[in-house]
Structures are given as structure tokens and as C-alpha cells.
Amino acid sequence: MAESITITDNRSGNQIEIPISNGGVSASEWQKLLPGIWFYDPGFVSTASCESSVTYLDGENGILRYRGYPIEQLAEHSTYLEVAYLLLNGELPTEAEFAAWRSEITYHTYIHENVRKRFLDGFHYDAHPMGMLVSAVAALSTFYLDAKDIFNPESRHKQIVRLIAKMPTLAAAAHRFSVGMPFVYPDNSLDFAANFLSMMWKVAEPRFDANPMLAHALDVLFVLHADHEQNCSTTAMRVVGSSHADPYSACAAACAALYGPRHGGANEAVIRMLGDIGSMDNVPDFVAAVKQGHGRLQGFGHRVYKSYDPRAKIIKRTADEVFEITGKNPLLDIALKLEEIALSDEYFTSRKLYPNVDFYSGLIYQAMGFPLQMFPVLFAIPRTAGWLAHWQELLDQDSKIARPRQLYIGLDSRDYVPMVDR
């Protein structure tokens, strides 16, 4: 059977045969037959915006792989820094490559004093740390003017290292500011996750050593969040990157996209929802209300996954390990009951709504002591590696500027009416 489709223009009877390649058909071929007729696809539900070799996602079967490696294996055996290298370079690092990479990231964790003293300190006392992060990442572009040199491999690499390394520092600085605590400088003797925890929680002790199990659990969460192919924030990164903006500006746009409750803000929404439900007895009524259209079950459903999100499975296990140290999050029982009821209810099963990565991640963050406002920030830290891998791929592919078309549904031409005659 031919691996192609044939499109007929019923107005003229003209046809065009378009090959199916890598599971898609080229829209520019379609344009040859139908110039000026556009695919109408709000939300890009049926549109592939690029070719990519970073992450493979099969939503029907719950499969997620970075550069071919199953997420389950990476979560069990790898670390966030190694995964970041893999996403960016396509291969796992050798021992020497990893040592060099870790050293580079470790020695770029400091932020310019003015970023903290003048820029971050200028925010209002109750500023949301995610808003601060979005702005601070954009502001970095004004500190690193060489970032504009995006086709210079050396400069590009330097910005990638800076962004991955400084993200935890900015995130922790935003938190410390929002709770009125002094800024903690990075401790370059610590691993990536442990260093972040030190910048978050250190008070007066000379060195903050996080519980190694908690630092490991956080690192696993970072691995799980490092990339997820063409999600909303990665698409924002690619769209802004396609204009050849510097990577800090593009990354700030990606952070902004991640901020919303439909995307990276969902883990915060889950905790608020579980708190509102209040007790296991209220779960059936809550589910009934959702089915009647009163709100959504936060942390459920996904544009691509139509089965259990593989990351949610791993997170559920990680949650048990964390709760052994921190004590059980009291909201866990409500979450488990909610999952049990939803997964046996026709409304959710028929729509293929399963728990996504955010359903349990918030419970872990909360048990570890992170305030709700920090949840999207905790997502942005590791996703930076994925954003940058896609940004780099985009530039190497010499892609076109992102510029979709529209179906115009407004008024036809009409004459201006002076104000006195309106």
C-alpha cells in the first residue's frame, strides 16, 4: 500500500498525492494544490510544528523517552545533570565529558550581584516567585550581551550552561525574597539538587546538607520534568527562538507559558483543590460537581496522554519514599480516593482522563516544605534543559520564523466615522 494521501479539490477536480513521512504530511505540498486555503487547527491539536529528535512521546501507550532512553530507566539510574547533557547533546556523556559538564554548571551558578540587589530586590514584598523568575530570566539577557550571537557555537554553549546553572539560584533567590529571608550564595561543593535545597533552606549554619534521600527525590522529579516534546512552554521557546531572539528572552517566554494553571501551574492548583475538598467524605460530591461542569479535576487529563502518564507512576513511588522521611502529606488520602473514584467512573474513562505528572508532584513538594507559589518554579528549573535542547535543534535546522495564518471572521471594509457622527 502506498504511504501517501491524495487530496482532491472538489471545485476543480485537481488532485495532489502527498507522501506520508515520519507520520506526517507536508502542509507546503497541500499549498501547491490549494493556495490560500489554510488548515484550521486552534491549539495545534492536529499540527506537527517541527521535526525533532529530542523526546519521543506515545500518549496512547504511555511511553516517554529522552533521546531513545525510557524515562523509567533514566529516573532510576541517571541524574538531572546527566539527563540535561543527554537532551542537549543526543548521547549520554562519558565519565570525562560528565566531569567537565558538571564542573561547568557548578561554576556558573552565581548570579550578577545587580540581578539580586537591584533587580530582584525591586519587586513588591508579596511578588509571586514565578513572576519574579520570568522577569529575572529575561533580565539576564541585558547582562550577557554576547547571548545575541546565537550562531556562534561557543557563545551558544556558554548561554546554555549559564541558564541551566543559574536557574536554581534565581528560583531560590525569588523564594528567599518573598519570605523576607537573606539570599544564600551557591555552594559549589554540593550537587545540583542539594545546592538548590541549600539556597532554599540554609539559615545560619556554615553548610547546609540536605537529607540525601530528599535531594535524590528532588533530582528524580527534575529528571521527570526535564522535557516533554512540543508542550505549551517549549512551543513558546521555539516560537520566540524562531525570531532569533537571544536564549534568555526565549526562555523567559517559555517560563511565562509554564506559569499558567493549564500547564506548569497545575500542581499548585491540585493542592488548592485537595485542600478545598477537605476530607475523603467530600470526594464523591466533588467528582459529581466536576462531571456537571463545575470546574476540572486538576492534575487529570492531558492533551497527548490518553493513558496513565508514565511520569505519574514514577512520582507516586517517589512520594512514598519522601513521605517515609517527612511524614505523610495529609492530603494524600484525599488524592488517592479521588484517583480511585475517577478511574472507575465512566465520565473520566470515556474521555481517557488519567492522573498526569502534576497530580502527585505537588504533594511531594508540599511535604518537602516548598510553599505552593514555588511549585511552577520547581518545574521551570529542570524544564530549562528541554527548552534549550529544542532551541538549539531549531537553530541547527535553520527553520522559518513561526508565523501562522488565520481564518479572518471580522467585518468587511468600511469607512471611518467621525466621533460626532457615531
Binding site for ligand ACO (CB under 6 A): 262-263, 266, 290, 296-303, 351, 353, 356-358
- Sheet with strand 24-25: strands edge to edge: 4-8, 15-21, 24-25
Least Cβ distance, residue 261 to ligand ACO (angstroms): 7
User: 108, 175, 216, 302: which is the annotated catalytic residue?
Assistant: 302
Compare residues 322 and 357 and give the one whose CB is closer to ligand ACO. Answer: 357
Residue nearest to ligand ACO (CB): 301
Q: Which residues, other chains included, contact 415 with Cβ-Cβ below 8 Å and sequence gap of 6+?
A: none
Q: For residue 346, how many other CB atoms are within 10 A of its CB?
A: 8
CB of 355 to ligand ACO, least distance (A): 9
Cell 545587580 belongs to 114
Task: Quote the least distance from Cβ 262 to ligand ACO, whole Å.
Answer: 4
Q: CA 98 to CA 92: how far, in whole Å?
A: 9
Catalytic residue among 216, 227, 358, 390: 358
Helix axes 192-201, 212-225, angle to 10 degrees: 110
Whether 157 is a known active-site residue: answer no
* Least separation in angstroms between CB 260 and ligand ACO: 9
User: Which residue do the cell numbers 541585558 mark?
Assistant: 142
- 306 burial (CB, 10 Å; 0-12 / 13-18 / 19+) is middle
Please identify, using beta-carbon distances, which residue of 357 and 378 lies nearer to ligand ACO: 357
Catalytic position from the list 112, 149, 187, 263: 263
Please spell the DSSP secondary structure of 12-46, one letter per residue.
T--EEEEEEETTEE-HHHHHHHSTT-----GGGTT
Considering the complex, state which of residue 210 and residue 256 has its C-beta at the smaller distance from ligand ACO: 256
Report the alpha-carbon distance of residue 369 to residue 195 in Å, rounded. 16
Whole-number minimum distance, CB 24 to ligand ACO, in Å?
A: 19
Query: Measured from the CB atom, is 18 or 130 closer to ligand ACO?
Result: 130
**Exposure of 317 in the CB half-sphere (CA atoms within 13 A):** 10
Task: For ligand ACO, give the closer residue by CB, 93 or 260.
Answer: 260
228 part of the active site:
no
Does residue 244 have an active-site annotation?
Answer: no
Residues carrying an active site annotation: 263, 302, 358
